Amino acid sequence: MQDTNPSQPDSPVTGYACIQDYLRSLSGAPGVYRMLDAQARVLYVGKARNLRARVSNYARPGHSPRIERMIRETASMMFLTTRTETEALLLEQNLIKQLKPKYNVLLRDDKSFPNILVAKDHPFAQIKKHRGAKKEKGTYFGPFASAGAVNRTLNQLQKAFLLRNCTDAVFDSRTRPCLLYQIKRCSGPCVGLISEADYAAAVKDAERFLSGRSTRVQEELAEQMMAASEAMEFERAAALRDRIRALTTVQGAQGINPRGVAEADVVALHLENGQACVQVFFIRANQNWGNRDFYPRVGEDVSAAEVMEAFLGQFYDNKEPPRQLILSDAIENADLMTEALSEKAGRKVELLVPQRGEKAELVSGALRNARESLARRMSESATQAKLLRGLAEAFDLDGPPKRIEVYDNSHIQGTNAVGGMIVAGPEGLMKNQYRKFNIRGDDLTPGDDFGMMKEVLTRRFTRLLKEDPDRDKGLWPDLLLIDGGAGQVSAVQEIMVAHGVEEIPMVGVAKGIDRDHGKEEFHRIGQHPFALKRNDPVLYFIQRLRDEAHRFAIGTHRAKRAKAVSATPLDDIPGVGAARKRALLAHFGSAKAVSRADLADLTAVEGVSEGLAQKIYDFFHES
């Protein structure tokens, strides 16, 4: 792969003339090109089978309004040549996700999806939810559309097959069965209430069910239930009946299970008024394992083929594609995408655009979901826009805010103090922009809310000035909402003046008379406190924002407090991570017992080498 960047012309040339200057030195190799504006910000990333031929298209008029605007803003270009067009496609999608160019179709929500893992690194396999890289030994089933879908399935599978979900450390330390055994969610392998062979048979049945052979599993259970009933083993027959019901519940929750589609993702796109919704249904083992909707950033004049191709490239950049992708719209470079995805998966991946039959019905259902989801989102966006206009009017802002930051603190008598920041905008809550702050101030008086808020805002604006000094990345707020009255507002104003950002509007939200919900008072610098009418939608909107900030801060505080409660001196020993900490505690019972152990006992713990045992011993006996 070769990086080429021709020398820039002496005069600041932009638009068509700028692009024509690059054509003189471009080759016909495949590769990726980047278009940049006068501030060197990336406007667009594209791929080409022939760089010279592709870029020459931009040097001639006759484009859509979106592309025309992009060309006018182009002040320079960068090029990366690749060996193949497939390599260019993969590189293009990586750069789009990394650089987030203004004029590309961009998938903004690209989280990993959870799986069910039957872990096989223990004689009694554990069944659990798994997200991330598939490094653990075992069998993976998924992806599922959401953690909720996994949890519901796991809950019913526990009822049906009585498999354990506890960690190995908990399993090895049990001396009597836990509550899950009492409520018939586990067979009690930790204390020998089921043989290894019988447990392995239950694991095999669970894997068969998750692999799509659910009917056969249920038939076998039904035969066993009838045999137990005839033998007058009514308690066992009732237990088998409950297991069959649990499996039926799993199937019912999955909705339509296609008979002719074993493994596929159904991807349906709906475009309307410059917005897009993509619905993805996950079909595995002839079972529907849920669906998710996505809202990629698109322009008003993009085609369905362009959006679909960009979505597929970015969506499967960090995910393993299934054997079939059933699409609502054909893409321009289908052969290239098929080759790239097949290379990534290590097996053949097929792209289909069905016109009839069961697959077409699946696409039709996904399209209906996409259309309805986009309609709901557009309705919510219209309501949100109206609330933001009302907020601007209530607080005398220059215009509806695009980014609102709301701050709150949480602590118990000054301990485990944290600050929380939530963000809202035209599309609602922006949860990927939430931030938490561990209060570090050693000189703060415990419970000093003013001091904590000062620290949080100081750190926030110091970082903003460093990361976005020109305020052109969309990271700066248009409005600050502070939980508190005149005192908090004055404290925050000092910080803003010190950083030279006092022009940002700020409002303190105080509880008001009798601290009654609905009688909030709003405080601004140099103005008298005022209130909104109790039935004002803007007041409800502010209450929701404040409550969300409060929820986020309290949740962060609880997590920090829980971590502090579970902390042990073992956390401070270099080389002792989470796994070895669990092994030590499971072996000795407590950190205090670890501190009293000699070298021979420490070395006997699984995963603890002689060198690490010496480190642990020296840590507790340095004095």
In this prediction, residue 7 carries a pLDDT of: 46
pTM of the model: 0.68
Torsion of CA 596, 599, 603, 607, to 10 degrees: 60
Q: Which two tokens stand for residue 452?
A: 């904590």
If you average pLDDT over residues 26-54, what whole number do you get? 91
Taking the CB of residue 623, how many other CB atoms lie within 10 A of it?
3
H-state helical runs in 100-192:
147-161, 168-173, 179-182
Helix, strand, coil shares, percent, the chain, to 5: 45, 20, 35
Residue-wise DSSP of 210-271: HTT-HHHHHHHHHHHHHHHHHTT-HHHHHHHHHHHHHHHHHHHHT----SS-SEEEEEEEEE
Q: Which of 106-115, 280-289, 308-317, 347-356 has the lowest mean pLDDT?
A: 106-115
Burial readout 258-296 (b: 16 or more C-beta within 10 A, e: otherwise) = beebbebbbbbbbbeeebbbbbbbbbbbbbbbbbbbbbb
- Which residues are CB-neighbours of 539 under 8 A, at least 6 positions away? 518, 520, 532, 533
Residue with tokens 């083992």: 285
Amino acid identity at 395:
F
Residue 609: helix, strand or coil by DSSP? coil
Cα distances from 23 to residues 11, 37, 48, 55, 79, in angstroms, run 17, 18, 14, 7, 11
Taking the CB of residue 230, how many other CB atoms lie within 10 A of it?
9
Instruction: Say if residue 110's pLDDT is above 70.
Output: no
CA distance 181 to 112: 32
The per-residue pLDDT for range 462-481, each reduced to its tens digit, is 999 888 888 877 889 999 99
CA distance 192 to 205: 20
Q: Which of 506-510, 571-575, 605-609 has the lowest mean pLDDT?
A: 571-575
- Of the chain, the end-to-end C-alpha distance in Å amounts to 58
CA distance 595 to 572: 13
Instruction: Say if residue 35's pLDDT is above 60.
Output: yes
**Burial (0-12, 13-18, 19+ Cβ within 10 Å), 451:** middle
Greater confidence (323 vs 512) lies with 323
Cα distances from 93 to residues 185, 248, 478, 621, in angstroms, run 45, 41, 32, 54
Greater confidence (39 vs 244) lies with 39
Instruction: Say if residue 9's pLDDT is above 50.
Output: no
Report yes or no: 122 and 134 within 8 Å, Cβ to Cβ: no
Binned at pLDDT 50, 70 and 90, residue 589 comes out as confident
The per-residue pLDDT for range 394-415, each reduced to its tens digit, is 999 999 999 999 998 886 655 6
Residue 437: helix, strand or coil by DSSP? strand
If you average pLDDT over residues 132-155, what whole number do you get? 84
In this prediction, residue 274 carries a pLDDT of: 85
CA distance 385 to 424: 12
Binned at pLDDT 50, 70 and 90, residue 363 comes out as very high
Strands 350-352 and 324-327: parallel
Instruction: Say if residue 561's pLDDT is above 80.
Output: no
Report yes or no: 145 and 291 within 8 Å, Cβ to Cβ: yes
In this prediction, residue 412 carries a pLDDT of: 62
Instruction: Say if residue 439's pLDDT is above 50.
Output: yes
In this prediction, residue 452 carries a pLDDT of: 80
Q: Which of 7-16, 79-88, 606-615 has the lowest mean pLDDT?
A: 7-16
Binned at pLDDT 50, 70 and 90, residue 253 comes out as very low
